[in-house]
Amino acid sequence: MSPVAAGGAPAKAKVTTATLRGMKAAGQRITALTAYDHLFAGLLDRAGVDVILVGDSVATVVQGHDTTVPVTMDQMVYHCELVGRAARRALVVGDLPFLSYQVGIEDALRNAGRLLKEGRAEAVKLEGGAAYAATVQRLVDAGIPVMGHLGLTPQSIHQFGSYQARGQEPLEQQRIRDDAQSLQQAGAFALVLEKVPAALGATIAAELTIPVIGIGAGPKVDGQILVTHDLLGLFTAFKPRFARRYLELASLVGKAVADYCADVQNGAFPNQNESY
Ligand code: KIV
């Protein structure tokens, strides 16, 4: 008999890396979103998202930095732990921040291990291709599932110089395809592909047996990921073309706060029912 969740509906099975592989094989699209705290992680999990990424985008979305570079390993462990305690069904993936895996393989292993051991993540994500294949293999050998990240890799912003789409020229397209193969061979269980032409996204998804989760990589990949604060219209500093807004939450919050201030100022809050 299948387990029953509160409310009487059958509980959905826990998502694992094997679930994601099975979804690709069955042609079922994977849903993924970011979360950085317990409240949002619970909302996403209960709404049925398959993968929750504790992204290093926390640096720009929550901490107010211009890039993802400053977020530290300790901060990522902290945010993963908040999310890890809330997620029941979704697979929780923790982002390895800048310089937590680039310095050396042993360093990468220690830091990835912290995301699982202290942060309750079930997998880690790192940016980069063939240059990190040995690192990916070492983590996988140690029992740490790894998600790759190719295309626009925001930790390299100072090398790229802009957040422009990647893979626009044949040479770079071939390099990204080769990198994707290297990551798959090294044992990565999935790949995030960011801001590349839709045709390249489709090609890479067709060439790989592991799921390719796109963000600005067109519709013909195996799943989609967005930054939740973009989807909700909560982060408005800039809006990438690929980020569809399903709500305008920043405006709603602004209006609610202005209404509250007005009610306090004119004596309408609290009323009798809100008093003791
Ligand atoms: O950090 C992040 O949120 C990400 C996604 C944009 C894929 O890496």
Residue 10 confidence (pLDDT) above 70: no
Residue 3 confidence (pLDDT) above 60: no
CA distance 51 to 105: 26
Is 163 among the domain residues? yes
What are residue 10's DSSP bridge partners?
4
CA distances in angstroms from 151 to 8, 18, 167, 208, 239, listed in the order given: 43, 24, 7, 15, 18
Compute the average pLDDT of residues 34-53. Answer: 98
What is the predicted pLDDT for the residue at 210? 98
pLDDT tens, residue by residue, 241-252: 999 999 999 999
Are both 166 and 35 inside the same structural domain?
A: yes
pLDDT tens, residue by residue, 117-152: 999 999 999 999 999 999 999 999 999 999 999 999
**Is the shortest distance between the CB of 127 and ligand 1 below 6 Å?**
no
Q: How many domains does the chain have?
A: 2
Atom of ligand 1 nearest to the CA of 213: 7
Are both 107 and 193 inside the same structural domain?
A: yes
What is the predicted pLDDT for the residue at 2? 40
Amino acid at 122: E
Active-site residue flag, 194: yes
Atom of ligand 1 nearest to the CA of 34: 3
Are both 211 and 254 inside the same structural domain?
A: no
What is the predicted pLDDT for the residue at 238? 86
8 A C-beta contact, residue 222 and residue 198: no
* Full residue range of the structural domain in which residue 222 is found: 17-245
Is 10 among the domain residues? no
As a whole number of Å, the CA-based R_g of the chain is 20
Are both 263 and 187 inside the same structural domain?
A: no
Are both 174 and 276 inside the same structural domain?
A: no
